[in-house]
A and B are shown apart, each in its own frame.
Chain A
């Protein structure tokens, strides 16, 4: 390559590499190092303590509670979201009649798609603030008010007191479903119409077509959705910060790792311990990603 081309290549790469190296790559390399020190914000002096922070994590009840909560979300968030999204996408794309041999969506499917996707453009913070009113613990909470006034329930439910993680899960599902409806709809519309025609001619019902034709052909998209939602299950930061009692409480009932990392690392300046929590979170997410990609490899049907 000519000399001038190299100058051009370097010129174009320099600024992005410097920025990325400073704020992403360098902190990643620092993570492991800081996690093996007793660095706190209290004194500039700190020393190498090996795996002490990890030993502390191992006996930290709050850490294990957080891990349990991530597992809870890891199982239920994809399961519920994908089931609802597949069901809605099915109705919106093939729930209507057959027109000229091609299956159509139900009436108004465009409108539904627009509304369902709407929460996706809202900041999680806004979702959190709105749901803090929805889950209000006394009769002034939106949900309690509805349950008492309309359904005759006799006393209000303390959603965030007694069912914290379920309430968090509800808000996550509320926001996520529309995104996957759109994603699955795109997948469904790329399935060739003659496959459906053949199934219809064979006398297959809608439900049979859905399970035997649509889902196998959509399997790769479902797998992608599973990985995305799994990664979301390790987040939940904003919702826990805004919805839960005492940001992760009561008594660790809604503890999640990102909140622990933020509280320990930024608020309490326990840099060493928070970095060790960061390493733990990384190991958990990467384990999940590898497992998901391995076990999800059911042979996809080509079309």
Chain B
């Protein structure tokens, strides 16, 4: 093939390519932009008069209604509390277990490691019923503490699996020097090893934050009764499924926007880390 042919091929390919890339971009952005714009419109505007254009007037009142009357504010704060606590707990306990399993030889090390990793084979739906019964027996239904503990427990298998592999790659020399200098094992872990493992910790923290923030079936099953304890995903789902034509659609879309915007802002700032954090599991 000569070079003019190659050039023509590239031009053709890039023409067709640009078209399909642009089309997919529109398909991704269109529904999101539609939802955000709809939060400023009236019901008739959303459904009949003007579903796709800019709102005739930018009415922010729907955000207030969503935040207070539809309790999105409460759900949002609940989600923040549970996710902050459970991600912190997951990272602390997960890195402790992974570190010991990766760097200390003791009887039963492999057994404990596989005990944790085996959890990866069980999707949460499989054990949903017995999990519900256990949480109920412990008196932890409808409790944020119970849900947080469950989040941590179900995040441990992947966190331990990923971080154990990471701790293994850290050099021995620094650790040995610290021990000779008289540092305790605990001090060595918190002062030396954790800071060295920072890149791995950042990836897996992002992975856990996004995973736990977006969790739906666990809060649905474990916080069934008291509405003021619900999390954001649960609250939005409930508003959406109960909404009819007479419902306050602008408030529903405002609620959606409130849920979407923080994620988009976070994504805009940490785009590279988020991409590598979420794909970390598939690469290793």
Contacts and interface: CB of A to CB of B under 8 A. Distances in A.
Interface of A: 1, 4-6, 8-9, 11-13, 15-17, 19-20, 22-28, 30-31, 34, 84, 87-88, 91-92, 95-97, 106-108, 112, 114-126, 128-134, 140, 142, 145, 174, 177-179, 182-183, 186, 203-207, 221, 224-225, 228, 231, 234-235, 237-238, 241-242, 257-258, 261-262, 265-266, 271, 274-275, 278-279, 281-282, 285-286, 289
Nearest to A286: B121
Contact of A123 (B185, B259, B278): B259
B85 interface: no
Contact of A23 (B93, B154, B224, B232): B154
A116 B24 contact: yes
A15 B93 contact: yes
Contacts of B14: 91, 95-96, 106-107
B126 A282 contact: yes
A186 B32 CA distance: 27
A111 B132 CA distance: 44
B131 A27 contact: yes
Contacts of B101: 13
Interface in B133-183: 133-135, 138, 149-150, 152-154, 156-157, 160
A282 B122 contact: yes
A125 B25 contact: no
Nearest to A178: B28
Given A124-B216, A126-B256, A258-B125, A106 B21 contact: yes
Chain B at the A interface: SS class: helix
Given A23-B150, A142-B31, A238-B216, A31 B123 contact: no
A204 B5 CA distance: 11
Contacts of B233: 123, 125-126
B213 interface: yes
A1 B216 contact: no
Contacts of B47: 140
Interface in B181-196: 184-186, 189
Contacts of A97: 10
Contact of A95 (B13, B93, B266): B13
A115 B186 contact: no
